[in-house]
A and B are shown apart, each in its own frame.
Chain A
């Protein structure tokens, strides 16, 4: 919960992903509840009947259809034109949104580092499965870091594809610095406007947003993206270890709260936290967003191999 003192920042991919973890996640693939259309022919089956070699179905011919796909054998037997429909394999957009505000730079283990590691692992899985990977860091910055000018985006990298772009991804992620506040609504609006195609969007954040996360998530869930909201909390946020008469200062906006820690207050805080997390989950459930709350002391491989697979994000 407290701001981390001198947090260690990863400088290379090896610090984000251990080789052991790489070995374990290499066979995973990003899954989606639906098969999305992709821009490139990828490894993903599309719902669209396409041009792959895998037969899917027949349908009666209608005017304007590509004559190349008429099943002449059926025509010979039934004297009717039937089109051969094939499973089309499409690539998947994997868009990772990472909260790079100052509030992420808290807790032990550090929340932002954890988010970086998750983002790197997911990005790696996406890259090795030839998905189109994009990462957007959300956070207020002074200068416009994205084309089109949006101060609520702290950085973005997009259209990465293939294993060789792994280092580009890790470089981008390692370069991120958590600072200042977020404008999640504005950032989500920007992301929704600029993303292309359809796919899976993973939002990594603590979702402690004073202006509310609802509008932002609603914007993100539009346009057919399959959104996963992963709420990352530090163990200290779940079980506060502070005591005494304190002046709590919000790391983002400097807001101050005078508290004298007491058992009833701690109890109330935990009730509020549970209610907040439940509220997030319920909101997500209504919007068909898969929500997941994870503490930073949860091992990454447990998160990836267990939690995410159970929720259908990976397979």
Chain B
């Protein structure tokens, strides 16, 4: 039982009850009547008083009733509410999982045709409606407040702490389903960040106390988290809920059913054969949570046309003997086809079972899309004065064309504008003369060896220096990934300085300074290795060939062999980012559901950022202007396709978990997903008081006074 305004009721009781009793202590103003004798009356009164054990109360039935009425009104004034938790001014954090698995439509009767998210929103609304509103005579402090956070991979605050139920309901209703995987940690941190920092009073040297704000240590009221989810949250175990003995600070409202069946794609990958890029392999991984063996059809559509159908046998999910939870099983299939062109491949699962409408409760993961770039091997122009090891190294790479030319041949071809046919131009100890604006490179991709590229895109050349070794390099950069450069010894270094605020990124550093750098503009991208490779042991190291191969991949083909790692593949929740040609204007993105985004404004170098994307499907970036190599031009508009696929084993396992394992404790789902609601009792108390008042009136008129 919660008392919203107990103090007020106590004060009112302290005044009203004695006042009422004093009124009864006052001598009743009786009407005088003359009777023939008082003999019998006195005797009757004496008899009555002698026979009545509770004669004081019986004597004052009206007082008794009035005390009851007053008591009911006073109790009503205290605004009692029944609830389990008896603390005032709770701060609730409503965490609503909007991840892909919440799209499941569990087929139980109670849920009807609602998705889990819709049910979660409905229950969250019940929770909000049961929040304690400020009492009639109450201060705002004692009312419940809540904040609404929806989360998938990202977390988003829909409303900050407020007691206004309308705001909260609007916020809950505004939450939309996404296809992203779920991650609780960010949502939890986001909520905790709303708590004020803790202050401590620090007595300074002069004895005055100054409050010091402790960064990162949160004070304020404890937040009570209400998590509406199906429990499939991989990172829940990093969340630490506050420990309070007398009330729960983390409540888990489980949505959905524990034995929900889903069959969905959890892996989708396309690869081109290394030696024969025309040959395309598409790997499909499927997961099942059904307790029986299932056979589903996987259909491959290339550019919308059904191309192949393969059947997949899925073994039954076996319940874990300890947790009694069915462990999902997986199976796969590979489509192989000859496809040199860039295509859009769609893999569709047919999971319908004629006899069981609940054979697959979640259909978002039944379809996956791959944007497959065309099979491409780079054509490379090697401009050299005659470096044998470079020629032999490039000859070993799978290139469509390797053209070795001298600087003079290059200049003539450049003047003939014939160099555009090459994907990559390698300058070996040579740099073209700068043009009028100072730039040495035409639009294109370049690998510069043995020269420090200067000019607007380049660095400040400081000449050569003594020998040294590489001490650091970017192991994550595509061209240096997997390389070990510890053993590289340079007989001579080429010193240079990177101007501030330039687009130059150092990729490797020697003891003397930067050793390898990358520079890029909207139409030029170059990797520069200024030191003389001939005066190092690098050509004799296997890493040199790998480096050249990576450079050809990175600069020449702009696509790694594995398609699903390309930048055209997204996971819902990620940000769509790309670089468009500089002259691209009127950029819009068509979303999977068909609607078009607001115009996207590119940055100076043509980069665009959109998102995070919410749904799985195809995102089509459209612009007016120059098309890229793989882009589709239709009616003057250029289109570039991106595919977002969920492909998440945890999300595709839609079995609702009965408990959430946090870092410091395990929270069970509350019984049946039902919420403990507070209930206002004062209207009933006032109604009872009114009833007794009417009873008293009736008694008074029935002349039954004592």
- B-binding residues in A (CB < 8 A): 1-3, 103-104, 106-107, 111, 206, 208, 210, 234, 237, 242-252, 255-265, 268-269, 271-273, 276
Q: Which of B14-22, B30-38, B216-224, B494-502 forms part of the interface with chain A? A: B30-38
B30 and A247 within 8 A (CB): yes
Shortest Cβ distance from B270 into chain A, in angstroms?
A: 97
B40 and A210 within 8 A (CB): no
Q: Knowing A246-B31, A262-B704, A272-B47 touch, does A103 contact B38 (C-beta < 8 A)?
A: no
Q: Which of B550-596 contact A (CB under 8 A)?
A: none
B32 and A246 within 8 A (CB): yes
Cα(A234)–Cα(B44), bound, Å: 19
B36 and A259 within 8 A (CB): no
* Seed contacts A250-B34, A269-B40; 9 additional CB < 8 Å A-B pairs: A1-B36, A106-B36, A206-B37, A245-B29, A246-B30, A260-B705, A263-B704, A268-B48, A272-B47
Inter-chain contacts of A3 with B (CB < 8 A): 34-36
Q: Is B604 at the interface (CB under 8 A from chain A)? A: no
Q: Is the interface of A mostly helix, strand, loop or mixed?
A: mixed
Inter-chain contacts of B45 with A (CB < 8 A): 257, 259, 265
A248 and B705 within 8 A (CB): no
Cα(A249)–Cα(B35), bound, Å: 6
Q: Knowing A2-B35, A206-B36, A249-B33 touch, does A268 contact B44 (C-beta < 8 A)?
A: yes
Number of interface residues of B (CB under 8 A): 26
Task: Determine the residue in chain A with the shortest Cβ distance to B703.
Answer: A243
Q: Is B39 at the interface (CB under 8 A from chain A)? A: yes
Shortest Cβ distance from B499 into chain A, in angstroms?
A: 107
A248 and B38 within 8 A (CB): yes
Q: Is B11 at the interface (CB under 8 A from chain A)? A: no
Shortest Cβ distance from A272 into chain B, in angstroms?
A: 5
Cα(A135)–Cα(B37), bound, Å: 25
Shortest Cβ distance from A255 into chain B, in angstroms?
A: 5
Q: Which of B46-68 contact A (CB under 8 A)?
A: 47-48, 58-59
Tell which of B38, B58, B59 has the most Cβ of chain A within 10 Å: B38
Inter-chain contacts of B417 with A (CB < 8 A): none
Q: Knowing A268-B47, A268-B48 touch, does A251 contact B39 (C-beta < 8 A)?
A: no
B40 and A249 within 8 A (CB): no
Inter-chain contacts of B28 with A (CB < 8 A): 245, 258, 260
Tell which of B32, B33, B34, B59 has the most Cβ of chain A within 10 Å: B34
B39 and A248 within 8 A (CB): no
Q: Which of B685-706 contact A (CB under 8 A)?
A: 703-706
A-B contact pairs, 25 of them (CB 8 A): A2-B36, A103-B36, A208-B39, A210-B37, A234-B36, A245-B30, A246-B32, A246-B33, A247-B32, A248-B33, A248-B34, A248-B35, A248-B38, A250-B34, A257-B38, A258-B30, A261-B703, A262-B706, A264-B706, A265-B44, A265-B48, A268-B47, A269-B44, A272-B43, A273-B40
Task: Determine the residue in chain B with the shortest Cβ distance to A107.
Answer: B36
A248 and B41 within 8 A (CB): yes
Inter-chain contacts of B47 with A (CB < 8 A): 268, 272
Shortest Cβ distance from B485 into chain A, in angstroms?
A: 110
Q: Knowing A257-B41, A257-B42, A265-B48 touch, does A208 contact B703 (C-beta < 8 A)?
A: no
Shortest Cβ distance from B64 into chain A, in angstroms?
A: 13
Cα(A208)–Cα(B37), bound, Å: 7
Q: Is the interface of B mostly helix, strand, loop or mixed?
A: mixed
B48 and A255 within 8 A (CB): no
Tell which of A245, A263, A271, A272 has the most Cβ of chain B within 10 Å: A272
Cα(A12)–Cα(B705), bound, Å: 46
Shortest Cβ distance from B705 into chain A, in angstroms?
A: 5
B40 and A272 within 8 A (CB): yes
A250 and B705 within 8 A (CB): no
Shortest Cβ distance from A49 into chain B, in angstroms?
A: 49
Cα(A210)–Cα(B48), bound, Å: 20
B704 and A250 within 8 A (CB): no
Shortest Cβ distance from A122 into chain B, in angstroms?
A: 23
Cα(A265)–Cα(B46), bound, Å: 10
Shortest Cβ distance from A52 into chain B, in angstroms?
A: 47
Task: Determine the residue in chain B with the shortest Cβ distance to A260.
Answer: B705
Inter-chain contacts of B59 with A (CB < 8 A): 260
B34 and A2 within 8 A (CB): yes
Cα(A159)–Cα(B705), bound, Å: 55
Shortest Cβ distance from A153 into chain B, in angstroms?
A: 21
Inter-chain contacts of B34 with A (CB < 8 A): 2-3, 248-251
Inter-chain contacts of B706 with A (CB < 8 A): 260, 262, 264
Cα(A210)–Cα(B42), bound, Å: 12
Task: Determine the residue in chain A with the shortest Cβ distance to B31.
Answer: A246
Cα(A239)–Cα(B42), bound, Å: 17
A247 and B41 within 8 A (CB): no
B31 and A276 within 8 A (CB): no
Cα(A273)–Cα(B36), bound, Å: 13
A263 and B703 within 8 A (CB): yes
Inter-chain contacts of B705 with A (CB < 8 A): 244-245, 260-262
Q: Which of B31, B37, B42 contacts A103 (CB 8 A)?
A: B37
Shortest Cβ distance from B506 into chain A, in angstroms?
A: 105
Cα(A234)–Cα(B36), bound, Å: 10
Shortest Cβ distance from B516 into chain A, in angstroms?
A: 110
Tell which of A3, A104, A265 has the most Cβ of chain B within 10 Å: A265
Shortest Cβ distance from B359 into chain A, in angstroms?
A: 76
Inter-chain contacts of B37 with A (CB < 8 A): 103, 206, 208, 210, 250-252
B36 and A272 within 8 A (CB): no
Inter-chain contacts of B31 with A (CB < 8 A): 244-247
Cα(A261)–Cα(B44), bound, Å: 11
Task: Determine the residue in chain B with the shortest Cβ distance to A263.
Answer: B704
Cα(A208)–Cα(B42), bound, Å: 13
Task: Determine the residue in chain B with the shortest Cβ distance to A267.
Answer: B44
Inter-chain contacts of A210 with B (CB < 8 A): 37, 39
Inter-chain contacts of B30 with A (CB < 8 A): 245-247, 258
Inter-chain contacts of A107 with B (CB < 8 A): 36
Q: Knowing A248-B41, A257-B45, A264-B48 touch, does A106 contact B33 (C-beta < 8 A)?
A: no
Cα(A159)–Cα(B276), bound, Å: 162
A262 and B35 within 8 A (CB): no
B33 and A2 within 8 A (CB): yes
Inter-chain contacts of B704 with A (CB < 8 A): 262-263
Inter-chain contacts of B43 with A (CB < 8 A): 272
A272 and B35 within 8 A (CB): no
Cα(A104)–Cα(B35), bound, Å: 10
Inter-chain contacts of B42 with A (CB < 8 A): 257
Cα(A250)–Cα(B35), bound, Å: 5
Inter-chain contacts of A258 with B (CB < 8 A): 28, 30
Task: Determine the residue in chain A with the shortest Cβ distance to B27.
Answer: A258
Shortest Cβ distance from B401 into chain A, in angstroms?
A: 120
Shortest Cβ distance from A259 into chain B, in angstroms?
A: 6
Shortest Cβ distance from A9 into chain B, in angstroms?
A: 18
Cα(A256)–Cα(B32), bound, Å: 9
Inter-chain contacts of A103 with B (CB < 8 A): 36-37
Shortest Cβ distance from A251 into chain B, in angstroms?
A: 5
Cα(A234)–Cα(B43), bound, Å: 19
A237 and B44 within 8 A (CB): no
B40 and A259 within 8 A (CB): no
Cα(A103)–Cα(B38), bound, Å: 11
Inter-chain contacts of B58 with A (CB < 8 A): 264
Cα(A47)–Cα(B39), bound, Å: 44
B703 and A256 within 8 A (CB): no
Inter-chain contacts of A272 with B (CB < 8 A): 40, 43-44, 47
B33 and A237 within 8 A (CB): no
Shortest Cβ distance from A81 into chain B, in angstroms?
A: 64
Shortest Cβ distance from B495 into chain A, in angstroms?
A: 116
Cα(A242)–Cα(B703), bound, Å: 10
Q: Which of B292-334 contact A (CB under 8 A)?
A: none
Task: Determine the residue in chain A with the shortest Cβ distance to B32.
Answer: A247
Cα(A232)–Cα(B101), bound, Å: 98
Shortest Cβ distance from A5 into chain B, in angstroms?
A: 10
Cα(A225)–Cα(B58), bound, Å: 50
Inter-chain contacts of A111 with B (CB < 8 A): 36
